[in-house]
Amino acid sequence: MKKINDLENLAKKYRRDLFEKLLVIKQGHPGSIFSMIEIIVALYHGGFINYDSKKNLFLNKVLISKGHATAALYPIMRDFGILPEKEWDNWGHKESLLRVFGNISIPGIDVTSGSLGHCIGIGAGMAVSYKKSGQNKKIYVIISEGELYEGSTWEALLFAKHNKLDNLSVIIDINSLIILGKTRDCLNLDPIKDKILGLGINALEVDGHNLSDLISIFEKANKNGELNCILAKTVKGKGSSVMENKKKWHYWNPMSKEEIEKTRKELG
C-alpha cells in the first residue's frame, strides 16, 4: 500500500486531470466527482480492490451508483493500464469510448449507471452470487446521499441485511447538496445514521476526504464480518473554492480565465 502522502498526491493529481478534461469537454459533474476522489483513491490504491496484474483486472467490484460521477474512475483505470491511455486522451471526441456517465463497455467499469437508486440492489445480487459460489470477493457500492430519496435504496438495504451480505459495503457520499439546494432544506434526510442503524445495519462515520481515516474505516468494515454502511462526510466540489459547496457546480459551468487559473492553482 502506498504511503498516505503518496495517496494525497494521487488524489490531487486525479482532481487536476479530471478538471483539465472537464474544461475541454465542457460538461460533466465536477461537484459530485470531486466529493468522492479520496474515497476511490483509498479503495483502489489503499489495498481494498485487489488487482490481478496477469489478468489486468480488479478482483473486487466498485459500483458507482451515482453514475454522474463514474468519470472519477477513468484516470484510475488509465493509471492501472486497464483503460488505454489513448482512450483517456480521446475523451471529448465524438468517437471516444468514455462518457459523462459510465457504462460496462468502458474497461474497468462494472456497471452501467446513471439512474439513481439501482446499485445497492445490483451489488446485493453480486454479493449473493459470490457467497453462494464460494468466491471470496467484495463489493463496494458508492451512492450519493440523494439516492436515499429512492425507495429502491431502502428495499435493497433490507434485502442485504436479511441475507447477511457481509461482503457488501455501501459508502454514502454525504455532501449535503442536491441539484436544487441543501438536502435539509429541500427534503430533510437527517438523521441518516439513525435510519441506517434502525435497519440493524452497521453505520460507520468518516471524514470522506481524510485518506488515513478512510483506510482505517475500510479496514474496520472488512474485519467486523457484517454488512456496513459507511457514512462519508464530504464537500461537493472539494478542492476548488470556485466550486466547493455550491449547488450549481453539480453540473459544469462556464469559467472565467481567472477562475480557471485559480482552480488550477488550488488543485496544484
Partner 1 sequence: MLQRDVFIGEINKYLEKDKNIFFLSADFGAQALDELRKSFPNNFLHCGISEQAMLDIATGLALEGNKVFVYAMAPFLALRSIEQTKCGAGLMNLPICLISVGIGLGYADAGPTHYTTEDFACFRSIVGSSIYTPADTATTKLIANELLEKPKFSYIRLDRDALPNISPEITKIDLNKGYRIFGKVNNDKIVLISHGKMLHKCLEIYNNKSDRFVCVDILRSKPFPKDLPKDFSSCRGIVVVDEQSPSGNLSSCVFEAFSEQNYFPKIISKSLPEKYVFENGGREYLLNKFGLSNNDIIQACEKII
The residue to which cell 459523462 is assigned: 100
Binding mask 35-74 for partner 1 (x = CB under 8 A): ----------------------------------------
User: Does 132 participate in binding partner 1 (rule CB under 8 A)?
Assistant: yes
Is 115 a binding residue for partner 1 by CB under 8 A? The answer is yes
- The reply to whether 127 sits near partner 1 by the rule CB under 8 A is yes
Quick one: 47 or 114, whose CB is closer to partner 1?
A: 114
130 lines the binding site for partner 1 (CB under 8 A) = yes
Q: Which of 18, 62, 98, 122 lies at the binding interface for partner 1 (CB under 8 A)?
A: 122
**Restricting to residues 94-113, which ones interact with partner 1 according to CB under 8 A?**
103-104, 110-113
| From candidates 159, 244, 245, 262, binder to partner 1 by CB under 8 A | 159
Q: Which amino acid is at 129?
A: S
What is the sign of the dihedral through the CA atoms of 31, 34, 39 and 45? positive
- We find the least distance from the C-beta atom of residue 136 to partner 1, in angstroms, to be 14
User: Which three cell numbers, joined as nine digits, stand for 188?
Assistant: 430533510
- Least CB distance to partner 1 at residue 168 (A): 10
Query: Nearest approach, Cβ of 1 to partner 1 (angstroms)?
Result: 28
> From the list 125, 149, 213, 220, which residue makes contact with partner 1 (rule: CB under 8 A)?
125
What sign does the dihedral 158-159-162-165 (CA atoms) show? negative
**b/e code 7-46 from CB counts within 10 Å (16+ = b):** bbebbbbbbbbbbebbbeeeebbbbbbbbbbbbbbbbbbb
**SS3 state at 27:** coil
163 part of the interface to partner 1, by CB under 8 A: yes
Binding string, 133-152, against partner 1, x = CB under 8 A? x-----------------xx
**Rounded least distance, CB 163 to partner 1, Å:** 8
Q: Which of 110, 166, 111, 117 is nearest to 146 (CA)?
A: 117
Q: What are phi and psi of 138, to 5 degrees?
A: -120, 155
State which residue, 128 or 186, has the beta carbon closest to partner 1: 128
Give one DSSP letter per residue of 134-182, joined into a string: T----EEEEEEGGGGGSHHHHHHHHHHHHTT-TTEEEEEEE-SEETTEE
User: One-letter amino acid identity for 111?
Assistant: V
Q: Which is nearer to partner 1, 117 or 237 (CB)?
A: 117
How many residues of this chain interact with partner 1, rule: CB under 8 A?
Answer: 31
Q: Which stretch binds partner 1 (CB under 8 A): 117-125, 198-206, 217-225, 229-237?
A: 117-125
d(CA 27, CA 85) in angstroms, rounded, equals 21
By three-state DSSP, how is residue 247 classified? helix
Nearer to partner 1, 140 or 249 (CB): 140
Positions that interact with partner 1 (CB under 8 A): 103-104, 110-115, 117-130, 132-133, 151-152, 155-156, 158-159, 163
